[in-house]
Amino acid sequence: MNKKITVLAGDGIGREVTQWGVKTLELVGELFNHQFTFQDALIGHAAIEATGNPLPDASISACKASDAILLGAVGMPMYDNDPSLKIRPEQGLLKLRKSLGLYTNIRPIIIFKELQGASSLKSEVLDDVDILFYRELTGGIYFGAPRHRTDDGSKAIDTMVYTKMEVERIARKAFEAAMTRRKILHSVDKANVLESSRLWREVIQEMSTEYPEVRVHHMFIDNAAMQLILNPRQFDVVVTGNMFGDILTDEASQIAGSLGMLPSASVGDEVGLYEPIHGSAPDIMGQNKANPLATILSIALMLDSEFGLKEESKVIIDAVDLSLKLGYRTGDIADETTPADKILGTKEMGDQILSSMRAICTPKYA
């Protein structure tokens, strides 16, 4: 297989972690006889500095001409602390999602057994948790019009809009995913209050007749937020709107223990974008402290869902699992029981994953 990958390293720890994504793909190429070629493109603060634009047209063209996109993160503290700055890194990210029609954000919540202690939930609640979130990413209240503040500043308006088409296209992806898993789909809405949620529920109910094997549960967002930490094992695939998904997936990320462990995919009908869920972490940038595993696991997601390379994807996940079993940790997932010599920096953890991949593929290295 021959694939072209656009790398948008972005800001902060973005460059430190994406280089391990690239090295992981290069090794997959070597071990499985595929060829991956890489093209760097600008986004975020790095793009503003170089061109004055958080997402130059050249970056959009590069993404559109590639087979998959690897993104680090965008954002720097100078923007967070000065809302008056009109050109901002995150505008690049929103424009990218819209330009590429990335309407589905997929976030798997997988807990590596060795890290159950890193979660704030009791270990027995976390046994066998495996959730796949489908969050709608280009509609809902984050994009609806009108959205404004009255002239005297005393009233603000946001609008939640969903069309049947928008619900159908993400629901189709979620139903299809459920068919390949435990065949349980939770659809999360607020249909007891919101008209857009009543449409959401109606569409899911209509579509459920096409997937008779999938057990569909409708759940209100407030109950879902509670059930997620009470009994996360009950969930298999969860489909929900933009804002509800934003909140629920951040809550779910804590089930896995650290932001540094969770990958994500944003997909539409064309090229897909793969990125760790964390931000640019300027507090640790340039210090070799960033956990590269969320980015490396994003590559596993890319290989599986974008290119159908399941075996290659599994080797990466198994290599992460093996490295954790061997006791290696980055600072964010270490605890008081971790021996000092097992606490690794970004580079050392990256190297460890590569040697675990080699060991899994070629037993003579073990």
Per CB under 6 A, contacts with ligand NAD among 331-350 are 332
Q: How far apart are CA 132 and CA 174, in angstroms?
A: 9
Tell me which of 6, 266, 280, 356 binds ligand NAD, using CB under 6 A.
Answer: 280
Tell me which of 15, 190, 278, 329 binds ligand NAD, using CB under 6 A.
Answer: 278
Q: Is 80 in the site for ligand NAD (CB under 6 A)?
A: yes
Q: How far apart are CA 342 and CA 301, in angstroms?
A: 27
Helix axes 14-32, 293-301, angle to 10 degrees: 50
The amino acid sitting at 17 is V
Contacts of residue 117, defined as CB under 8 A and 6 or more positions apart, other chains included, come to: 123, 257, 335
Q: Is 246 in the site for ligand NAD (CB under 6 A)?
A: no
Q: Is 16 in the site for ligand NAD (CB under 6 A)?
A: no
Tell me which of 137, 290, 322, 353 binds ligand NAD, using CB under 6 A.
Answer: 290
In Å, how far from its chain's centre is CA 281?
A: 16
Q: Is 9 in the site for ligand NAD (CB under 6 A)?
A: no
Q: How far apart are CA 142 and CA 134, in angstroms?
A: 16
Phi, psi of 146 (to 5 degrees): -80, 155
Q: Is 74 in the site for ligand NAD (CB under 6 A)?
A: yes
CB 201 within 8 A of CB 96: no
Q: How far apart are CA 52 and CA 48, in angstroms?
A: 4
Q: Which of 11, 236, 246, 304 is catalytic?
A: 246
Q: Is 238 in the site for ligand NAD (CB under 6 A)?
A: no
Task: Tell me how far, at minimum, the Cβ of 284 lies from ligand NAD, in Å.
Answer: 4
Task: Tell me how far, at minimum, the Cβ of 61 lies from ligand NAD, in Å.
Answer: 21
Give the count of alpha carbons within 13 A of 124, CB side only: 0
Tell me which of 42, 55, 62, 73 binds ligand NAD, using CB under 6 A.
Answer: 73
Residues labelled as active-site residues: 142, 190, 222, 246, 250
Give me the residues that bind ligand NAD (CB under 6 A), please: 13, 73-76, 80, 90, 93, 259-260, 278-284, 290-291, 294, 332
